[in-house]
Structures are given as C-alpha cells and as structure tokens.
Chains A and B, each alone.
Chain A
Amino acid sequence: MSDTVAYEEKKLKIIGTRPIRPDGVDKVTGRARYGADINLPGQLFGSVYRSPYPHAIIKSIDVSAALAIPGVKAAITGDDFEDMPSQFIPVGEMVVNFRDMTRNVIAREKALYDGHPIVAIAAISESIAKEALKHIKVDFEILPHVIDVVEAMKPGATLLHEEQYTLIERKRLGSEPTTESPPKEPSNIAKRLTWEKGDIENGFSKAHIIIEKEFNTKPVHQGYIEPHATVATCTEDGQVEVYTCSQGHFVIRSQCAKLLGIEVSKIKVIPTELGGGFGGKNNVYLEPLAIMLSKIVHRPVKMVMSRNEVFRATGPSPAGHVKVKIGCDKNGNIVAADAQIDMQSGAFPGSPLPQATITCFTRYDIENVRVIGHDVTTNRPKVAAYRAPGAPIAAFGVESVMDELAEKLSIDPLDLRIMNAAKEGTQTYYGVTFPQIGFLETLKRAKAHKNYNIPLEKNQGRGVATGFWMNIGNDTTSSLNVNDDGTIALTIGTIDVAGGSRSSLAMMVAEEFGIDSDKVRVTTGDTSQLGFNFVTAGSRGTFAGGIVAILAARKAIEECKIRAAKTWNVPLDEVVWEDGYARPASSNVGGFDPLSLADIAKNATKTGGPIAGHSEKNVQGAGPGFGTQIVDVEVDKETGSVKILRHTVIQDAGKAIHPAYVEGQYQGGAVQGIGWALNEEYIYGDDGKLQNTGFLDYRVPVASDVPFIDTDIVEVPNPYHPYGVRGIGEVPIIPPTAAIANAVYKATGIRFNSLPLSPPKVLAAITKK
C-alpha cells in the first residue's frame, strides 16, 4: 500500500507497559464532565413529544395549549426544518440518507415507531417542559404496523415507505455479476445485496456433508450508561455552539450543518466526556432540535434524554433472520458456503448489511461463497451501529453450523476451524487479499489454553466460536506542541470513547520522543481546533489516532533536531534523536553534550520559536482483526438458567500499546456478547409499543452474572502501523453468542437457533426434550 506507515521492529520502553489512566481520577471522583453535566448561563430546557403509536399519519399538530403555559418559550415541529433530498452519504460505519435523517430527528408525514419525535419544546425548567408535553394535541390516523423482519418482507406487508423499491446490488469476485431486475412493486425491502465467489452449486456438489439451518436474533441496545445529552446555543449572527456527548463531534457538526442549512464554519461542536457509545452515538438525535430551539428563543437550550427515550428512540442493533448452509468434504475442508441475512433496519433503510455480509464467512478460506442480504424497514427505531455492527448476527449462525459440522465429522471444533482458517494471502469474497493476520495463532493458542482442557462436570458444556472484523482508518488529525518545559500537549480529534485511547496515544508519542508518558498530556480538541476527524468507530481510535500522533511527533522531533543543529552549528544530518536527546551522529561531529527535549524547548525562542508538529491523514492500512473465544457454561435444568463458568478471549491485537486497555476491550466485548446471548432483547406488545424501556427489564448483565473474563493477547503485527497496532474493539463481541449456544448444546443436547437463551426458552426446550 502506498499511503501507509510501515511497521518497524524495535526495542520498546513505554509501549507494552501499564501506566495509570489519565482520565481515571476524574471518572472515579465524579469530576469528569459528561454531556448532562454541561450548563450554560440562561439556558432553557428542551423536551420532546414522542409518538405513542408505532405507525400513524400525523394529520395535524396543535401546540397552542402548551405554548400558553407560563414558562414555555417555543415549540417546533418537522415543519420548522427544510426537507432534504434523498441522498446517501457515509457517516460512521453506516450510510446516511439526509431525507431519512431529518425525518428521524423529527417526524414529518408519518410517525414510524413508538417514540418517534414529533414536537420539541423549550421552557424555563425541566418540569414545565415536561408538563407542556401533556398539552400537545396531535391528530393521528393510526395505521397497521410491522415489527418482525420476516413479516415485513412478506408480499402484502404493511408498507412504511410507499415509494420504496428494492435497490439491487450484486458483487462477484473476479467477474461481472449476473444482472437481476429490481422488483416492480414497492416493499419494505430497501436493498438486496449479493456477494459471490466461485461456483456455489458446483461446490456443494462435491460436499460429503452439508448442514443448513435457520437462525433468529433479537434487536439489542448498545446499553451505554450515559443518555444522550446536549446544550446548544445560537447567537443572533448565526454562530452556533454545541456541547454534546458523541463518538465524533466533527460528524455531528456535518450532520447539523446539513440538516439546518448552516455553513460548517459557523458551527462549533465541543465534545464532552463520553459515557459509552458502542456505535450508538455516531448520529444526531437531539442536537438539531436544540439548535433550532435556541435560534428561536435566543438562549442556550439543554436537552437530556430519559432512559425510556434512549430505549424507544435511539439505535439498537437490528434483529436478524439468517439462513446458513455450509458443505465440507470428508476431511472437513469447506467446499462451499451460502447464507441469507435479513436485517431489520428500523424505520428507515440502512442496517449494517454490508458489514454483516462481508464478515459472515470471512475468516475461513472458502472457494465457493454466496451471501445474500436484505435491508428491511420495520416500525422500530432506526438501527444504529453496535460494536461490530451486523457481524455477531451472522456469526451466530455460521459458528453454530461450524460446531455442528465438527460434531458430525468427529473433528475437534477448533481443529475444523484451524484447517479452514484464512491466512496471509487468502482471497476474501469481498475483494481484499489478506496481509499478515493472526487468526491461526488465536486458534492454536485456544487449543493449547488451559481453559480448553479443564474437565467439566454434569450439566456443564464447553463451546468455541470465532470472529472477524475488517477494521478501518479514515480521516484523522492531530496537533502536537512542545511546551516550554519540554512536556508535550497533544490535541486529538478522534474521541476517546472510554477505551483509553488518550493514554495509548500519549504512550506512542512518548515512545517516539523517548520520554515518560506522563509528560504527554492529551486533550480532545473541539471542531474549531483541528481538521475533520471521522467518528470513533470500526476499531479505528488507537490505530488511526496513533498514526497521526506518531507522524506529528516525528515532525516535532525533526524540528528539535534542526534546533540542535542550529545550537551546535552543525549540518542537520549530523544530529540524531535517541532516547529523548538530540545527540551528535558520531564523535566526528564534535564533543557536544546531548540536548534533552527540555533543553531544546527552553531555548526554542532563541532558535526560531515554538516547536510543534501536526498530521492530517486519511489513514490507510488497518490490520484485520480476528479472535477465538472459549466458553464454559452450566445449565440449571430445573429453571433453564445458564451460568457462564469460564469465558476466555484470545485475540490478535497486533501490538497491545497498553495491555490493560486491550484486556478491558476483550472483557467488555465478551460481556456485551453474553448479554446478547442470554437475556437482552427488545420486547414489543401486540400494540407495537416497546415494553422494556429500562434496565430492569432490559437485562444487561451485571457484574455478578459474569466470571472474570480470561484474556490472551496475541500479537501478530499489522504491517501498516509503526508499532503493529490493529483495532481490537469490535471483534470480542462477535463470538460469544455462538460460543455460548454451542456450550449450552454440550450441556443439554439441545441446539438453540434463536436468541436470547433466556430461562423460559431454555426450560421449555429441556421440558420438551
């Protein structure tokens, strides 16, 4: 790859150590300022009237009674926003259509899900704003609704968008795909996407064994603890400032500019500390409403969602209906693989279908592959990215079938994966040929892991599964200033989504300079301070943020060498930078004492002025990530309760900059996967309303539900990162659902093809057996 930064093997001092987290003290003492902690003088409070129906025509809206309440200052509806043309633009890991986005922020013709915003109010207090909502009158014409993805795909199903005709996209590796004519009738299927490689029919004809199964997964929420919160202020001359908790303030700025018709330069977005996002904070919800209200009332407007609003109206992951068919020869070599993935996109098109279809079989080297995906609109909130968006849904099916194949062929499930594993040079069906990757290493380490060999007792079972994520780089910027005492201020624009990337970036910069990492202070800049940064998504934060921080450091080091050369009055090429000092390249240069960063900084004024470096880059060369997980469960056969006894994550990090944060990502992803597998699900009533809009009935695992998650960091360097870093955030959530289902099979003899494996479902199956 041309525009990449090469890996160099070298002796490391800082990288690989575990310094104390710089944002830790603020977080454990409550000083950290999250979205809802920001208050501006004179602010009003905004509140949103939401549709109580899953599908209804909005015939009229009457806000007069609400506006008559003393203290209520403004009310806005969809009519206050310009309509947008249908136009697809990539944002975050998803593609955004601004026609849909403006309708998702505030409804126009129809309410498309329970919780869809219809009116926003600004008032002098939260209680008055909430009271005002009760006096808003909307005349709805209630329509039939459709929640389930399979139902929504049936001919004759209730249509969300009467003008939606299925978009056909076909890709075939190495040759032109056969054409497929689009359907003539509108439907809820927004898109049909097909990937093909080789000859699937011919492949299956050579199979000794074929397993074909159907799977269902439920929508699950990202479950971030911090609800969406924003404060916006708009001045009379059209300058806008927005404080918000997001995964990418530059993207929030772009979306607000587009939706509100404001020039980008007039909007400044200031990021707050983030209390979790996991893909759910890549897009605007409240921000355009707060800006519009502020514009009308000439005062700042603060808006904070309740948990109920977060569940009803922000992005869960899609539900998926998945068919998987895999054929193997006698020895276990996969000869063909076929899948169909139907995904709920919610009220508007744009589920993570590309990611689900791309990751589906990728990690195995298969000659003949076909994956078909459908993006399906339903009366549910528009889905958002959720950690490895789409991939866990596909992997649940594929890894369950792999387990069954291994059993039927009497091959160890890890061995079956080892013999089919993708490696350097493997040609994927979506076009990429893998560079150096570490999948095989994770499988072999799993096979040898002590947790794979612990004897099990009655009612216990062990399952394995694997995961793959492409990882991304994208637009990233960083600015670095050497302070007058030789410490360093690094300004970054890619949000630390709480994974600890600020610390990891400080460590990489410290390694470059040869100083301690606590000499590098990392601050997240607002949108006026740096060039555009993409959202922190796709496991890019430490990888891409690291590359620009390193390049900025290298520029500043080069400048330091220039200053040393000036000081010594020698040519630049006679100065080297080593271990935090400018030194003469050899004894021939002269007997100069080495100059520390502090020495050079102190004299910077005399040698030309402040020293800095910066870097702006569309970062390329993200190293693909792979992982293998081993799970032991115990099933209470009297109650159907599944207990996770042991959970082991073995994953390639390329290089762990701060190993504790890598372990934290592995553990966090595994726990989210456990939640997805066991208890998390959106529960809708027949009325199409979401019934579990709080953490009491939406059951994210609590600490006592999970064992200590064991981790094993594999380090096969990414050739396109100076220290070998690969993104690691997404992969750990991919294997758990299948690994757990496979373990439950071993404990009960029952294969579960639908999630979650909640006690009533497990007990019913055990009783039936």
Chain B
Amino acid sequence: MKRVKKMQYESPKSIDDAISLISNSPGNVRLLAGGTDLLVQMQSQVADPDLVIDIKNIKEMKEFKKEDGVYTVGAAVTGMEIIEHEEFGSDWPGVVDGVKLIGSIQIKGRASMGGNLCNASPAADSIPAMIASGASAVIAGPNGRREVLVEDFIKGPGKTSLKSNEILLSVKFPIKKPNSSGAYLRFTPRTEMDIAVVGVGINVTMSDSGICEEAKVSIGAVAEKALVVEDAATALVGNKITDEIIENFISKVRASARPINDKRGTVDFRIQVIGVIAKRALKMALERIR
C-alpha cells in the first residue's frame, strides 16, 4: 500500500550545517531562498522534494558587501535589495537591468539573483548580465570553497556545475574598470511579467579617445544556456563604435545564436531580433559611459 510521503523542511543557521544536511540526506533535496521558482515547481508538480533546505537564515547568504572594489552578493540577497543598492546600480547597471526584469516587485521582494542563477533557465534575465560583467559564482562544499565564472557555472537548461553536496554561496563581481558600463535588454511580447524571447547582456570599456578597449557580450534565450559571444566582442575592441562596426557586431551576434522554434518565438524571429536588441544594449551601455 502506497503512503503519500511527507516533505521535510530544515532551516540551518550555518553553511556547515547546510552542507552537512545536503550531504547526508538521501532522496531529492532542494534549496530554498526566495522560493519563487521552487514553490511554483512544487505547486505544478514539476518538483517533488523529500527535503527542502531554507538557506535564508544563514548570515553569509544574506551578505551584500563591497571590499576593495569587489562586490559579494550573497545567494539569498533579494532582487529588491539589489535594485535598491544605489552604488551597486551605478557600478553594474546592466546587472540591475536584468534583476529588474525578474517578475513583479512582489516577486523580487523574495526572489534572489542566486536563485535565478541556480535555476539555470536559458532565458534567465540576470545571467547574461552577470556573464558580461565577468562575475563568478562562489561555491561551498565539504572540502572548502571554489570559484567559477558564471558562464562556466551554467551547464544547460536547469543544470549547473554544482555537485550534489555543494551550495552556491554568493556571486562576486570584479573591480569595475573606469570608463566602463553595461546594459541588459531583452525582447518580450509584453512590457513586463514575461519571459525573454531573446536577451543580451553587454559590458564595454572605452578609452578617452572613444576606442573600445574591452567588451564582453552574452546572449540569452537563443541556446540551451546563455552564451558568451567572443566574435561580437572582438568586433568592437580596438575600434571606434561607428555604424559600420555596429553592423559587424550585429552580424556576429546573429551568427552565434542557435535558437529553436517554440511557443515563444521562431528561429527566424529570434535571430533577427537578437541583433536588434544587441545593438540597442550596446548603445545603452555607451550612453551610460558618457
């Protein structure tokens, strides 16, 4: 006779306790921060965990600090905390562009950027912006901590490089270069409360004479995960940003997109529009440097 199982809930106070729980629990274990993905998945019976570990009561998970120019954003820091952090917003406006697009204000009051990262949706709004910023994921496990670039952290739809006994601790941003800025733009049929049909995160550093010194471009929702488009960055670096350079940049972005046809958009539409959105994101980032 089958009994309906009961889900367990734990709320550890330290990283070590959390790792111990996750390492020693058989069955399906899920971490909970804001719960805006997990609870929806449970409600729709996509997720059916035996144990839910709430990480919100671990102090380090809620830390949001800047030390020696390096921001560390704890995995459970909410979207609204990030949006309301003025200095972070002026240093990494592209990341805030992305976070702002995650659901409604109410959702962002709970949802964390760390959760958006671990959920690893190909259409996640904060991920291309994090990648373009050169951010890395700080991971804690039984054998200590390790850091990995966000683009390497994401492996595929819903898949990350976290091992079954590891936890995302925070996202770390490098020291911001002078004369640099970023932007994230996406295309959605609706203005809000929607999911990216295409998304572009970009960061550029310009010289005083208007030459692009450095660039990083990441595109979302056009492959199994957010991609880094090195060709598009190369098209910009060493050049003044003229219309001709922008056209070349657009074509490189389009060439690297490999979307699918689905209910959210066609291949043709996504390839066409990702170029348009990339152009607009680039212009937005340049405008922010000025």
Interface residues of A (CB under 8 A from B): 65, 68-71, 125, 127-128, 130-131, 135, 306, 308, 638-641, 678-679, 683, 691-692, 695-697, 699, 701-702, 704-705, 758-760, 763-764, 767
Contact = CB atoms under 8 A, between A and B. Distances in A.
Contacts of A679: 189-190
Contact of A639 (B4, B187, B264): B187
Given A691-B263, A697-B264, A705 B190 contact: yes
B270 to A, nearest CB: 9
A68 B2 contact: yes
A761 to B, nearest CB: 9
B189 A678 contact: yes
Interface string B163-197: 00000000000000000000000010111111101
A128 B193 CA distance: 32
B263 A763 contact: no
Given A71-B4, A127-B4, A697-B264, A639 B276 contact: yes
B241 to A, nearest CB: 18
Interface in B4-44: 4, 43-44
Contact of A704 (B192, B197, B268, B272): B192
A393 to B, nearest CB: 22
Given A68-B2, A639-B276, A696 B194 contact: yes
Nearest to B45: A130
Nearest to A130: B45
Nearest to B44: A308
A764 B268 contact: yes
A634 to B, nearest CB: 13
A702 B4 contact: no
6 contacts: A306-B44, A308-B44, A639-B276, A683-B263, A696-B195, A758-B189
A46 to B, nearest CB: 16
A760 B2 contact: no
Given A701-B190, A705-B190, A764-B269, 15 more contacts: A65-B2, A69-B1, A69-B4, A70-B4, A135-B2, A639-B276, A639-B277, A696-B195, A699-B194, A702-B191, A702-B193, A704-B192, A705-B191, A759-B273, A760-B266
B263 A697 contact: yes
Interface of A is mostly: loop
Nearest to B2: A69
A676 to B, nearest CB: 14
A103 to B, nearest CB: 27
A701 B191 CA distance: 9
Given A69-B1, A70-B1, A763 B269 contact: yes
Contacts of B192: 702, 704-705
A229 to B, nearest CB: 16
Nearest to A767: B272
B3 interface: yes
Nearest to B280: A638
Nearest to A678: B189
Contacts of A68: 1-2
Contacts of B109: none
A699 B263 contact: no
A135 B3 CA distance: 12
A763 B272 contact: yes
A763 B189 contact: no
Secondary structure call for the B interface: loop
Contacts of B195: 696-697
Interface in B213-245: none
Contacts of A760: 265-266, 268-269
Given A692-B263, A705-B190, A70 B3 contact: yes
Contacts of B44: 306, 308
Given A638-B276, A760-B265, A767-B272, A699 B4 contact: no
Contacts of B266: 760
A78 to B, nearest CB: 25
Nearest to B275: A638
Contacts of B264: 697
Contacts of B273: 638-640, 759, 763
Contacts of B194: 696, 699
A759 B189 contact: yes
A640 to B, nearest CB: 8
B101 to A, nearest CB: 12
Nearest to B269: A760
B269 A759 contact: yes
B243 to A, nearest CB: 15
B191 A704 contact: yes
A257 B1 CA distance: 38
Contacts of A699: 189-190, 194
Contacts of B187: 639, 641, 759
A450 B263 CA distance: 40
Contacts of A678: 189
A421 to B, nearest CB: 36
A130 B266 CA distance: 35
A71 B2 CA distance: 11
Contacts of A127: 4
A257 B2 CA distance: 37
Contacts of A702: 190-193
Interface string B252-290: 000000000001111011001100110000000000000
Nearest 4 interchain pairs by C-beta: A760-B269, A704-B191, A638-B276, A131-B4
Contacts of A308: 44
Nearest to B272: A763
Nearest to B266: A760
A52 to B, nearest CB: 14
Contacts of B190: 679, 699, 701-702, 705
B180 to A, nearest CB: 27
A742 to B, nearest CB: 21
A130 B4 CA distance: 10
B283 to A, nearest CB: 13
A678 B3 CA distance: 48
Contacts of A705: 190-192
A71 B62 CA distance: 41
Contacts of B276: 638-639
A592 B124 CA distance: 79
A309 to B, nearest CB: 11
A65 B1 CA distance: 9
A47 B45 CA distance: 14
B54 to A, nearest CB: 20
Interface string B189-212: 111111101000000000000000
A128 to B, nearest CB: 5
A308 B46 CA distance: 13
Contacts of B269: 640, 759-760, 763-764
Contacts of A691: 263
Contacts of A692: 263
Contacts of A70: 1, 3-4
A283 B193 CA distance: 31
Contacts of B263: 683, 691-692, 697
A518 B52 CA distance: 51
Nearest to A72: B4
Nearest to A127: B4
A98 B143 CA distance: 68
Contacts of A695: 193
B268 A128 contact: no
Contact of B189 (A69, A71, A641, A767): A641
Contacts of B193: 695-696, 702
A760 B264 CA distance: 9
Contacts of B45: 130
A764 B193 CA distance: 25
A676 B286 CA distance: 38
Contacts of B2: 65, 68-69, 131, 135
A764 B197 CA distance: 16
Contacts of A65: 2
Contacts of B189: 641, 678-679, 699, 758-759
